[in-house]
């Protein structure tokens, strides 16, 4: 079990960041092994990772993806294996299990060369930012998946399959994403998020 959070707005406001911060705090119940986020600045995709929640300082950005990890594959003490998984011009945060085999076995099965031990890298290596390939991949895997993708062009996508939850909430020209409804409700009981439809890729 891991936590994912996303934020997107064409008109970022200070109270948006307050909501984002609180969503991240509440999301921490889903994993305490590591924390990290990605954002785009000056046309460059930037990823930062931490072992302690208190060490995090957030950027001012119109799109941010965040992850807190409960480790199921890859040594979480090595930040290379922690999320966001950032390969070239694409970053991914996800909750679920794509492949539980060893790195060598995953590379052989999927005909790829992996930079990390994290099974989420399979999606990046196999699909890149091709929306059709991502959608097909998530719908075809036997495992569980709910994830948010951010690329260097500042495009953000979210998708899940039926085996993992993911919720979305629109507020003051901003879109917020979190793993579960109760994360939103613990931030503000008046928030009414809706579940993301399984198997459909959304751009936010």
Q: Is the pTM of this model over 0.75?
A: yes
How confident is the model over 45-59, as pLDDT tens digits? Answer: 999 998 887 788 888
The answer to whether residue 74 scores a pLDDT higher than 70 is: no
The CATH number assigned to the domain holding 50 equals 3.60.20.10
Residues in CB range of 88: below 8 A, 6 or more apart: none
Q: Indicate the number of domains in the chain.
A: 1
Its domain, for residue 87, covers 3-203
Which pLDDT score is estimated for 29?
82
How confident is the model over 149-204, as pLDDT tens digits? Answer: 999 999 999 999 999 999 999 999 999 999 999 999 999 999 999 999 999 999 99
Rounded CA-CA distance 172/89 in Å is 29
Rounded CA-CA distance 203/104 in Å is 33
The Cα angle at residue 198 between residues 200 and 149, in degrees rounded to 5: 55
What number of other Cβ atoms are within 10 A of residue 34's Cβ?
A: 23
Which band of pLDDT confidence, cut at 50, 70 and 90, is reported for residue 71?
A: low
Residues in CB range of 26: below 8 A, 6 or more apart: 178, 183, 186, 187
């Amino acid at each position: 079990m891991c936590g994912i959070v996303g934020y997107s707005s064409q008109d970022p406001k200070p109270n948006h960041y307050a909501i984002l911060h609180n969503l991240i705090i509440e999301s921490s119940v889903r994993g305490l092994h590591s924390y990290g986020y990605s954002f785009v600045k000056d046309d460059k995709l930037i990823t930062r990772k931490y072992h302690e929640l208190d060490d995090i300082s957030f950027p001012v950005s119109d799109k941010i993806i965040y992850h807190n990890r409960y480790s199921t594959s890859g040594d979480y003490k090595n930040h290379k294996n922690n999320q966001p998984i950032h390969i070239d011009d694409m970053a991914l945060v996800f909750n679920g299990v794509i492949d539980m085999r060893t790195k060598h076995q995953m590379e052989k099965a999927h005909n790829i060369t992996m930079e990390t031990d994290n099974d989420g890298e399979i999606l990046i290596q196999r699909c890149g930012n091709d929306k059709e390939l991502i959608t097909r991949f998530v719908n075809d895997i036997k495992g569980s998946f709910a994830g948010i993708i951010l690329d260097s062009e500042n495009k953000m996508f979210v998708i899940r399959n039926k085996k993992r939850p993911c919720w979305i909430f629109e507020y003051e020209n901003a879109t917020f994403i979190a793993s579960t409804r109760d994360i939103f409700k613990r931030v503000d009981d008046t928030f009414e998020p809706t579940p993301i439809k399984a198997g459909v890729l959304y751009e936010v």
